[in-house]
Structure formats: structure tokens, C-alpha cells
Amino acid sequence: MFVVLVYDMGEKRVTKALKRCRKYLNWVQNSVFEGEISESNLAKLKMELDKIIVTEEDSVIIYTLRTTRYSEREIMGLRKGGQDLII
């Protein structure tokens, strides 16, 4: 499956979240990741992030796409990491 993961976290936890997400997904831009991931690895990533976040302060949003066949990505402005992937 293809996922887009976005997080908003306190400064102290951002680096830990960044490292965990980069293990499984491709960095796109600040706090945004995307890529193909298995269900088991997605479950692992969620468990790892759950140990990092403070639920009263932080949020993680995961968009799951079964296929990227009918999707498109448009980048406006500064291009950052991960342009090789197309949603």
C-alpha cells in the first residue's frame, strides 16, 4: 500500500519521529513522508511513533492509498526531498 504520513510534534520529539519515519518511508518535506509500505511495517511504524508522541500535544495523520493509479502530485514553490516518487 502507499501512504502519506504527516506529523506535528513538539520540538523535543521531532528528531525521534523523523528517524523512525525515515526507516520506513521517504522524506518529502518538513514533517511529511510517503512511500510503499507493507501492512506489518506500517503497524511497526505506528507502534514506534506511539511511544514517541504525547497525545495531548502531538498529532500524526496517515493517508492510505491502495493504489496510486489515479493520483497525481503537483509541487508548487521550493522542491525538497522525494520528488522522484509520484503519487
Using only C-alpha atoms, what is the Rg of the chain? 13
Return d(Cα 39, Cα 27) in angstroms, integer: 19
Return d(Cα 71, Cα 12) in angstroms, integer: 34
pTM for the predicted model, two decimal places? 0.83
- Sorted by where each begins, the domain ranges of the chain are 2-67
| Residue 58 in marked binding region | no
In terms of pLDDT, which residue wins out, 41 or 87?
41
CATH fold of the domain at 2-67: Alpha-Beta Plaits (3.30.70)
In order, the DSSP letters of 19-84 are HHHHHHSEEEETTEEEEE--HHHHHHHHHHHHHH--TTT-EEEEEEES--TT------SS--S-TT
Question: How does pLDDT run across 13-53, given as a tens digit for each residue?
Answer: 999 999 999 999 999 999 999 999 999 999 999 999 999 99
